[in-house]
Amino acid sequence: MKREIITIIICWLSFWALPAHAELITIQITGQVDSIYDPYGYFKGKIKVGDLVEGTYVYQSSTPDSDLSDPIKGTYYHYIPPAGISLSAGSVQFASDPFNLAFEVFTRNNIDSGDDIYGFISHRNLSLSGNVYVETISWQLNDSTGTAFSTDALPLTAPVLENWDWNSLHIDTLRAFGISGHVTAATLIPEPGTFLIIGFGALILKHKTLIKKIYP
């Protein structure tokens, strides 16, 4: 519980530390599980094919392109919370590690065979109960017509799913487990600062006694 409070505080401080011109882009996604590979029984049946997937991912609008010299390839790395992904699949929660964040949003405009590509990868994530390591959480959209994007710039809105003909969500650790699914809805959540304020206030009210112990 103490770690949960510290995490929210980090997100709160990180938001207010953003430059005046920066904006946090928060996208809410829902989808479903299409397949699961769990040979070691980590999930004990808590995730099944057809289960709901839902959560949000966050990135900063002013993040520079690490591939600035390439006009068709955009790569936007984030190392400071509240950027990252938090979602549930079935009854299991997955999230980027805010204490060791490595979150990437990528765009490709008419690359290789002419495809447009959009997505994210969370490279460092919170372990599950029992210290089960989560290697990557990722989502990728492809448009084989090359018409979904006109630039490799970082999008400031949610992707329109109808513009993409391939949609793949993955949560996995190599050779240990794999969860595959797809996203059925993606929505921009406006005014992310408001949601951080609400969430922070709700956490204080819910855990008032613990807050007093940490801050006597």
Q: Is residue 60 part of a domain?
A: yes
- The reported pLDDT for the residue numbered 22 is 66
Q: Is residue 112 part of a domain?
A: yes
Q: HEC string of 96-147?
A: ECCCCCCEEEEEEEEECCCEEEEEEEECCECCECCCECCCEEEEEEEECCCC
Angstrom CA distances, 177 to 128, 163, 170, stand at 12, 30, 11
Q: Is residue 177 part of a domain?
A: yes
pTM of the predicted protein model: 0.79
Q: Is residue 148 part of a domain?
A: yes
- The reported pLDDT for the residue numbered 35 is 98
- The reported pLDDT for the residue numbered 116 is 98
pLDDT in tens, 58-93: 999 999 999 999 999 999 999 999 999 999 999 999
Rg (CA), the chain: 18
Residue ranges of the chain with per-residue pLDDT less than 50: 2, 5, 8, 12-13, 15-21, 192, 194-195, 197-216
The residues with which 60 forms a beta bridge, in sequence order, are 24
Total tally of structural domains belonging to the chain? 1
Domain extent, residue 175, equals: 28-187
Average pLDDT of the chain to the nearest whole number:
85
What is the Cα–Cα distance from 81 to 69, expressed in whole angstroms?
Answer: 27
